[in-house]
Structure 1
Amino acid sequence: MSDKITVKLFRMVMDSHVCPYGLKSKDLLERQGFVVEDHHLKTRDEADAFKDRHDVKTTPQTFIDGERIGGYDDLRVHFGKDDPKGKQDGSSYQPVIALFAMTFLMALAAAFVATGSWFSILTVEWFVAFSMCGLAYLKLRDIESFSTMFLNYDLLARRWVRYAYLYPFGEALAGVLMIAGVAMWLAIPVALFIGTIGAVSVFHAVYIQKRELKCACVGGDSNVPLGSLSLTENLFMIGMALWMSYKLFVA
């Protein structure tokens, strides 16, 4: 079908810059089975002249049978795929799911190396601890953005702003100590404290006040909605602290 249809792609290909969206557009068209007439705009003047001629503000631009489809996002919509802009603007659990999936696989691998068994209680312990460290890293990438979003709902941070800056360090500390299995006298109370405050804060904001907020759990630039997964992070920490307390003082 595709060799009967004329597809023209105009994209910036310069010595100092190759447009990534142009590459994505070409790849998408070829995966749809089209033979692409690939037109390179090799200078800024060429690109500006093209945009003026077609009354567009950006490149790349795709034309199918003479009809202008638009840029990469428009091309995805044309082929019935998700609009990347829509996914960025809307809420998504994808960052948290991706992190938990990765830390679970890491825990499986680490437990196998340590014990020869893929799944054991150590796998679960390391999964929670790895997740705490991963979540802490995402917060620490941009602690200012995290603290701003965190202040929207955390009850303690709204009374003592510095707690919003300390939280990710506490989460990281507890996670690292739990991975190493040392200084449980410090890791347990830290995890129990921040986990309990976090759980109460999320429950209060989401289920009592019924506010629609973004969660700061994966950093201040996330579109993860505040809700059940946000509560899970804190319940993980509480559960881990209680389990470690049991191992330390009872078992």
Structure 2
Amino acid sequence: MMRRQGGMALAELLVAAVIAALLMAGLNGVLQGVRQTNEHLSGRALLQRDARLAMARVAVMVEGSQRLLVPLETTTGTRDVLAVALPAALDRDGNGFADADNDRNGTPDDDLPADETHDGAAGVKGIDDDGDGNIDNGGNTDNDEDGTLGSAPVPPKNGSDWIDPVVYRVSNGQLLERMPNLNPTSGADYTERVIADKVVSLAVTRIDTGNRRTREILVVLTLGDPAGETASWTRRLRLGAR
């Protein structure tokens, strides 16, 4: 009788071991799925954070500016570059003069030269202003780089102030911000820095508000990582809102 009970106990132990193994295998699959889901969510959350921070930086410059340089007013499609005039209230070195007030007369951008950005290039230096696939094509007094001077009146050539562009563009998967250096000697005196990595695209669309004094743009920044995760951040921005 005792042997029979012992035999039954061994069989039950084997069955229990098999059930435990099956449960462990199932639990391992569940844990692996949870881990993958967590990595998926974490990757997307990081991309969203980076996109949000970069867009916040763009918003500060756009909403503080009074002039939209790119996309041009004649542009109807979406561009992959954004350029605005340096905000007139910005004083990075705290010297009492706005950074955009190049001639230190108390009023930024009030005495422009024929080359409004004073960078020796058509439109904004190094940028395809009109989206025709060519960069800096035309003379340096062609301030919108469209090949004609009639649509961009040329002011007096003795201007001692100039428009300081702030430019956002994508290069090698990075969103770059171009800022004029402090006390620049010309519009070509600037520095670019990375404000976002893993950038898939930058899309900028000029919005027709029906009011020539109101300038608004829609900006969509999309980031993606090697794992295939993507995240986009969209902002509608109005110039002069700050």
Same fold (TM over 0.5): no
Coarse TM-score class (shorter-chain normalised) = under 0.3
Give 1 or 2 for the bigger CA radius of gyration: 2
Question: Would you tell me which structure has more strand in proportion to its own residues?
Answer: 2
TM-score (norm 2): 0.24
Higher RCO structure (Cα 8 Å, ≥6 apart): 2
TM-score (norm 1): 0.24
